[in-house]
């Protein structure tokens, strides 16, 4: 079995092919006039048979787990196991503690209330590699960084949650999945999990 951690850069699809089934690398060999495909996992990971556990949006960055262990993949994505995922989120304007409280109670997105989250201000701002391209700043609007910990994974959930309380997301980085973190990885890099890390994942994901 293979278990990989990948630091997904911005503007990379969480899949190994683009919509028409061609990877960016394959398309780059075509004529200069052909349409260039978007970057995918295949541009970074030359390991056959592994698949991402869950998703990370194209415009999000950060930690992605890949494996060929189908049973573990299923358990990690089953919401009943409440696997925590930690995000660092740059938002427009600076929310107060009171303004973050709805996230901790749950907010309505897509006609359904989110599970309670942990949401706190990060100060100072986290030390992250610069994004390429950088976010678009508005000179008259300050920004803040939040740490948000979720135990569910709905479509564009973090962005919808911060928008629901009036603080649009500018940059989103997943920094941890359970006890696994980005430590030691740069954007575009991946590594194998250690045996201890694999055992830890399986302990947190018992068989039903």
d(CA 16, CA 185): 20
As a whole number of angstroms, the distance between CA 51 and CA 65 comes to 8
Strands (E), 33-192: 51-52, 61-67, 85-92, 108-109, 112-113, 118-122, 143-150, 169-177, 180-181, 190-192
Record the tokens describing residue 184, joined without a space: 């030691």
Of the candidates 82, 24, 73, 83, the residue with the CA atom closest to the CA atom of residue 50? 73
Q: What is the DSSP letter of 184?
A: T
- Which is the catalytic residue, given 18, 20, 57, 69? 57
CA 172 to chain centroid: 7
57 as an active site residue: the answer is yes
- What is the end-to-end Cα distance of the chain in Å, rounded? 20
**Torsion sign (Cα): 76, 82, 84, 90:** positive
Could you list the active site residues? 57
């Amino acid at each position: 079995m293979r278990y990989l951690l990948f630091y997904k850069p911005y503007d990379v699809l969480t899949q190994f092919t683009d919509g028409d089934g061609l990877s960016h690398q394959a398309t780059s060999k075509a004529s200069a006039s052909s349409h260039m495909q978007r970057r995918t996992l295949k541009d970074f990971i030359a390991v056959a048979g592994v698949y991402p556990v869950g998703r990370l949006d194209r415009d999000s960055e950060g930690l992605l787990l890949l494996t060929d262990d189908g049973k573990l993949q299923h358990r990690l994505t089953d919401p009943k196991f409440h696997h925590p995922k930690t995000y660092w989120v740059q938002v427009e304007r600076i929310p107060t503690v009171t303004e973050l409280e709805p996230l901790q109670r749950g907010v309505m997105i897509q006609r359904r209330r989110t599970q309670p989250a942990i949401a706190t201000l990060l100060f100072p701002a986290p030390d992250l590699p610069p994004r390429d391209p950088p976010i678009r700043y508005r000179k008259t609007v300050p920004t803040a960084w939040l740490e948000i910990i979720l135990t569910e994974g709905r479509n564009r959930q973090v962005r919808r949650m911060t928008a629901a309380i009036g603080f649009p997301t500018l940059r989103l980085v997943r920094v941890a999945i359970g006890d696994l973190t980005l430590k030691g990885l740069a954007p575009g890099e991946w590594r194998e999990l250690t045996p201890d890390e694999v055992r830890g994942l399986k302990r947190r994901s018992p068989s039903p």
